[in-house]
Structure 1
Amino acid sequence: FQALSSLGITIPVIGLAKRIEEIFLPHQKDPFNLPKTSPALKLVQHLRDEAHRFAITYHRKLKSRNTIRTELTSIAGIGEKTAFRLLEYFGSIDAIAKATLDEIKSITGKNAAETVYRYFRP
């Protein structure tokens, strides 16, 4: 709330604690509860859950990008485009590691496929 206020942004802000589902408002010391069957509570819970889902998805995407750079692009001769194509097709590093040489070749060229295949089978 203070960060928004310092920027001159005045929008309604609330906080919703999980489990007990207490609602906190700025400038109020004590939280309050809405009835468990209240449509207003259901709306606030849905907004909270959606914001949480959005944040988790964003952080997973960041982590996935870092995985591409650190794992696949650390292989000599494998760039971000090839790494992205491999991950897009196979879905995970584990799946790439378990793929056959022919499966990898179907996504990349022969040399890159052999390099990736050997990397996961030292």
Structure 2
Amino acid sequence: MLPLLLAAALIGPVPDPPPYGAPPRPADNQITLSYQAQAGFAMAVKLTCDPPGGGHPRAVQACATLERVDADPSRIKRASTLCVLLYQPVTATMTGTWQGRQVSWTHRFGNTCDMRRATGDLFRF
């Protein structure tokens, strides 16, 4: 009995489990990324960070990008790649929670190449 009391004193109080049926606490870094073309097609993916995951095929790189710009895609340094000057508008959207705060961003690009050039790995899915 004494070893058990000693162990309990060293560990400290154990928090009560959440009530039965309580919704799970949302992760601090859950982002939904999507884009929709005026031509009609659309893509969407979930991204989680800490640890990187979700359905994003480049989750590690996308999380690193969000970390670098504090979840503000407009702060991403534009790549110097060339894109065909074909006007096929696409609207990119990011919503979710980043480090405990709500984030929301939307931007319209001339085409998907221009979107990827401006957002790096974030919208490469």
Query: TM-score with structure 1 length normalisation?
Result: 0.29
Structure possessing the higher radius of gyration over alpha carbons: 1
Higher-RCO chain (CA-CA 8 Å, sequence separation at least 6) = 2
